[in-house]
Structure 1
């Protein structure tokens, strides 16, 4: 019979092999993505070669700040104090993982695993992610409402015919009349837990301030990245207008479950900039520059950090 003393080194080696395998898989995935999308990266670099380096540096600094803002918002979404350096590293890794799976599943999985490693139960960890995402969506909507009057004529409400309005109201009435399904019955406890967490967070002013300040900074810094790129290539659009276009386009792209918004956000941003009067080539260059600073340059380092966190069992 094998003793526990003999089994432990074997299990340790197996865990080491597994972690090393995950690290290699992550690195190979990053190299594959870089190779697959290299023409887009190369084209973006070429078009931005003549851009103002000062503005590009501002954009790169803003991109770095988005991970700190995300860490602040994540800390604000939980009552327990999280380890600061590991929290920041987890947000950096989550941003890279978010480009591998659609609808933010990669980033959500990294953050969920990180919170559970910090001692939060699975339900509380999932609730914290819901709280953070809800705050982020509310902040984007509030910014759109605040910026829209400063850019008159840029946004116009959709025209609804009486028939379309009747169909929408009928659908809502039908949903309200449906009996409670087992699925909803299973979701009610999770929703009640999330609402309880929100109330508890807002009884702690420091946590509420971190949640909303981090969410606001995250949206503002992403807008600043795009503004900096448009200024670097001398795109003839006012900064407030660019910020509003980014908020609207990114909100619309969130409805399409593509990995990291790749494709959906690119198309939405390019269309928004072009419709607002930017030349097509300049709009494409602005989108490529934004992607270069927020996705392509940090992708491989982010995946490396992800592999290190997995190797050290922080995830």
Structure 2
């Protein structure tokens, strides 16, 4: 069994990005800029935003965080986004989820200029991705990170059966579409399972590559996995654990202890897919910067 180390790959990638930022700075005289907007005081979001800002600085990019109170109106938020759309020093705009209930997520997604939509959520970017025009869009960061892991670990995918468990717009749907594409690290036959799927274990046991993104701790059990499969665990679930100082521990969507020994390769939680998401966000921001300067 091979452990797919997302922490190591993300560190390697950030070092490569740092070198590339320095090269492009010498040509353009400036560096990529990422602006993150956070509305309200969700603790998990605040930690995530701090990590994004830290990673930006480590790679030599500019990072700006705009903190807005929870009562900020949708109109005010859209006005902030429009100002960032017009700012030539901003190459990536990200509005941290979740948003307060009075703000419509779709309206916010549509407001971001697709050329600065480094989250890859705008319908223009999603459409280009589905069509296979991957050089003309930004790919959603978590699925993009999974592709990078498959590539760097040289995992054979061509013609393999990939089963994606979950159909969210952030992971499940884009992941399934990417695994269909004619790329070195995709080119699979794809099945998508979700909450209404019947006989799910029967389908997941057919998977050569099983991607779990359903958001339920330890949902994928040993009985659901084919021996020798590659298992990618996207889930990050908090489980109460009084023995921990924090009062909780993190668990994936896969019952790691019982599943790992029968796989050919598996991602751990934490330290698997999670660190790749921020690394790919930075890669998208660098790509936006390069495009805006015709580099």
Band of TM-score, shorter chain: under 0.3
User: Which protein is richer in strand relative to its size?
Assistant: 2
Relative contact order (alpha carbons < 8 A, sep ≥ 6): 1 or 2 greater?
1
The structure with the larger Rg is 1
- TM-score norm. by structure 1 comes to 0.24
- TM-score norm. by structure 2 comes to 0.25
